[in-house]
Amino acid sequence: MSDPRRLFRAVAVAEGITWALLLSGMFLKYVTETTELGVRVFGMVHGVVFVAYCLTTVVVAVDQRWSLGRTLIGLAAAVPPFFTVIFDWYAEKKGALADAWRLTSSEPTGRLDRPVAWLLRNPVRGTVAGLVAVAALTGVALLVGPPAS
């Protein structure tokens, strides 16, 4: 598994890119009124990456010992377009993203440290668990229904 800085940046940038794609699809649907295919396709892609960003934020926050406030700001950054990229820049500037995972070499001490340490110390199983979590949460979101249009 990549280090926290690279993983967080990759997911934050991917979330920003999917925002751009979704906004392009919305332009085609609502402004030019040519097709809604972009909203259907890019909306789903954005939703999946949004969930992945939120899960990544929680894992990085636990491992890097972010405060609750920083964690909530990181999660809230997923809502407005492109704020995940801005938050990544902020976290980098503040030294909140290390080059190594803390919980791969130090013992977990808190309730949340234990599952995150397991994910990080078992990279294949951790990646599979992350993918399953993203799929399950996306499924729940689809059951709840798409945002009102």
Task: State the pLDDT at residue 148.
Answer: 64
**Tokens found for residue 128:** 């599979």
For the stretch 114-123, pLDDT in tens is 999 999 999 9
Integer Cα distance of 56 and 128 in angstroms: 14
**Between these two residues, 1 and 124, which has the higher pLDDT value?**
124
Residues 6+ apart with CB under 8 A from 26: 38, 39
- Maximum Cα–Cα distance for the chain, whole Å? 56
Q: What is the domain partition of the chain in residue ranges?
A: 4-144
Residue 147 has pLDDT above 70, yes or no: no
> Which of 5-19, 31-45, 46-60, 62-76 shows the lowest per-residue confidence on average (mean pLDDT)?
31-45
Integer Cα distance of 86 and 9 in angstroms: 10
Name the DSSP letter for residue 102.
G
Task: State the pLDDT at residue 2.
Answer: 85
Residue 8 has pLDDT above 70, yes or no: yes
Residue 146 has pLDDT above 80, yes or no: no
For the stretch 80-127, pLDDT in tens is 999 999 999 999 999 999 999 999 999 999 999 999 999 999 999 999
Q: Is residue 19 within 8 Å of residue 53, measured between CB atoms?
A: no
Torsion angle of the four alpha carbons 12, 90, 122, 14, in this order, in degrees rounded to the nearest 10 = 10
Predicted confidence band at 67 (pLDDT cuts at 50, 70, 90)?
very high
